[in-house]
Amino acid sequence: MIEPIARIRIELEGIDPKVWRRVDVPRSSTLMDLHHIIQVTMGWDGAHLFEFHVGDKIYGEPFPDDGFEDRTVYKAKSIRLQTLLDRGFDRFLYVYDFGDDWRHEVIVEDIRDGEADTDYPSFIEGARRCPPEDVGGCMGYDAFLEAVSDPTHEEHQQMLAWYGGPYDPDDIDERRVRSIIYGFAVRRRGPLLSHRKGNRPVNH
């Protein structure tokens, strides 16, 4: 099946060396779809809130009593990537976990037709494992990484116990990422075929 896709690069800000991923995604994807794709490819657990900042608009999961009275949050499932591209947005911000404040730059690197024999989304490549959940932002991650990387560090064993085992900052667990992303693509395949045959609309 040939469908319009976008190649996106996701870069986590504030960490050096850079934590990044590259993925081919359908341009029909909603921002909610993209949220799930980013979560899996980066390695997050989805335990916290998120937002997309696109121009002067914010997309996420609106809550009536979120404590922010001076802003409007639009539903992430209400807008598609293609619409953003049509409006001239080829990069925007994805924020995950408002406590640790993980900020990701999402960059559209290429727009093209997909391959006929490929189901999308499709993981391409990436580097560096994302920080553990609730580690305390960039500063907390630096301290964590220093401790787990040095067996003589006074907090080495404590941090390993907190994390639940060894932590390899270079291992992105690519097999797991590819498996879950492939599952996303397979679940899209049936509805997409039905939609193109005119039987029923695509569900996202």
**Domains present along the chain, CATH in parentheses:** 4-128+173-196 (3.10.290.30), 130-167 (no CATH)
Residue 202 is predicted with a pLDDT of 40
Please name the residue ranges forming H helices in the chain.
Answer: 31-42, 81-86, 137-149, 156-163, 174-196
Torsion angle in degrees (nearest 10) through CA of 185, 62, 97, 34: 20
The secondary structure of the chain in percent helix, strand, coil, rounded to multiples of 5, reads 30, 25, 40
Residue 63 is predicted with a pLDDT of 74
In the predicted model, residues of the chain with pLDDT beneath 50 are 195-197, 199-204
Question: What are the tens digits of pLDDT across the range 92-136?
Answer: 999 999 999 999 999 999 999 999 989 999 999 999 999 999 999
Burial of 176 (0-12, 13-18, 19+ CB in 10 A): exposed
Length of the chain: 204
d(CA 43, CA 92): 20
Is pTM, for the whole model, over 0.85? yes
What are the residues whose beta carbons fall under 8 Å from the beta carbon of 155, sequence distance 6 or more? 147
Given a contact cutoff of 8 angstroms between Cβ atoms, the answer to whether 121 and 186 are in contact is no
If we measure between CA atoms, which residue out of 128, 127, 118 comes closest to residue 24? 118
